[in-house]
Chains A and B, each alone.
Chain A
């Protein structure tokens, strides 16, 4: 009737039932009619077997808990590695996005300056007098104002909403182009002087340069958008990894809680068995005294 430590719980339960039913107590009329106690707990004693079962159960529970905790720690380490990798990706994307953002800003400034210069060139070469000149000057003013707004954010500083200011800037840019077109359509078509021709050619060259800068700005905006998206993805991955990490922590706490509870239960059982044994011993001593 020995109980192996590797026995399963169900087997243990069967064993203890059989042990309880087979063991003869100290008051058994058949085997021991005497009131004298059995001096110590025998191998077949139910309390001793209960203690052995509890010890075996505790050992199995402890092994399982250690195994699970080890598994969780491994997963935690994996999540840490994922977080580190995602953080590195986020930093790399942030740097990349910052570079393209700066480059795009420089290209955008060049394109806007070119647009202003081209607009002024058109004003100079508009034909000299009358409506074309007025339209061309107005276009140059609007183009300059749009440039000043984009660089200095004047409207925002005056308390205008950011969205409204953005639309105002777009409106000024388009208005400048429309007025320039109007000036071109209204121009008399008279031949330009050599200086005016030179200014116009210069304006055209500047406009081409501005266009190239705009292409560069577009590419930079695309690249910055991709980098920002990658950065946002990396932070989302970090958030996911942290979520898994916190869930694993919660599982760990639950396992530790169960372990603590099992340990307390085991100690209570041991204490109860000891108390019961003491009481039984004291009572049997009393019985012996009376006999």
Chain B
């Protein structure tokens, strides 16, 4: 046991002190200057390595979390862009369909007005049919073109939903990385606490040994 303790006392930070003591010729009093736990024993080195490993792990996990957060923000921005595009498509669809329907109405009005102005019943009937017929054609054409814009709006919405899903995946990845970083932090803290307890126990042992000496 004595050897173990003395092994812990031969810490490099304390070497200059020992030299001074030797200069003074007080070699027997050297035990008083080594109560602090040194960094050269295997337990400490292993602990330091483990803490460093945990810190590295935490650092990497934090980087991964940051990257995932950036991805989430990018996906969110893309989703917002798609939603604005969808709004534009909805507006275009309304414009085209409304314009076509209004033109159809004007055409029907024109046909009816011409029919009323004609004295011949047959001609009047033809004008009325022409007006309403061309109106239906306009309305149908407007419906076809407007449907394309509606389809585009639906596509944009689907794209927005896809970006939302990717954003959720990035959020999950971020949370997972954050949990990993927290786990690494807790492990490092526990290890630090354990090392502290070991140090305290060893110091107490050293002091006990000094008392017995």
Contact = CB atoms under 8 A, between A and B. Distances in A.
B90 A228 contact: yes
Given A187-B125, A204-B124, A211-B135, A229 B76 contact: no
Given A221-B98, A222-B99, A279-B35, A177 B87 contact: no
Contacts of B36: 276, 279-280
A233 B121 CA distance: 52
Contact of B196 (A178, A247, A272): A272
A250 B69 CA distance: 8
A232 B92 CA distance: 13
A70 interface: no
Contact of A268 (B83, B91, B192): B192
A211 B112 contact: yes
A239 interface: yes
A225 B101 CA distance: 13
Given A215-B106, A229-B91, A243-B76, A180 B133 contact: yes
Interface string A194-235: 001100110111011011111111111111111011111101
Contacts of B190: none
A205 B90 contact: no
Q: How large is the interface on A (under 10, 10 to 19, 20 to 34, 35 or more residues)?
A: 35 or more
A240 interface: yes
Nearest to B34: A283
A29 B21 CA distance: 8
A236 B128 contact: no
Contact of A178 (B32, B86, B90, B133): B133
B115 to A, nearest CB: 5
A177 B77 contact: no
A222 B90 CA distance: 10
Q: How large is the interface on B (under 10, 10 to 19, 20 to 34, 35 or more residues)?
A: 35 or more
Contacts, number: 221
A127 B129 CA distance: 15
A229 B90 contact: yes
Nearest to B30: A27
A286 B34 CA distance: 12
A229 B115 CA distance: 39
Interface string B51-89: 000000000000000000100010011011001101110
B140 A174 contact: yes
A131 interface: no
Nearest to A176: B136
A175 B113 CA distance: 23
Nearest to B109: A211
Nearest to A203: B128
A121 to B, nearest CB: 9
A122 B200 contact: no
Contacts of B109: 208, 211-212, 215
B164 to A, nearest CB: 9
Given A35-B29, A35-B32, A239-B76, A118 B132 contact: yes
B203 interface: yes
A6 B80 CA distance: 45
A276 B36 CA distance: 7
B104 A207 contact: no
Given A211-B105, A239-B76, A275 B196 contact: yes
22 contacts: A27-B17, A122-B128, A170-B143, A173-B140, A181-B129, A181-B130, A192-B121, A196-B121, A204-B116, A204-B124, A207-B111, A211-B131, A215-B105, A215-B106, A218-B105, A221-B97, A225-B90, A236-B86, A240-B80, A261-B185, A283-B35, A286-B210
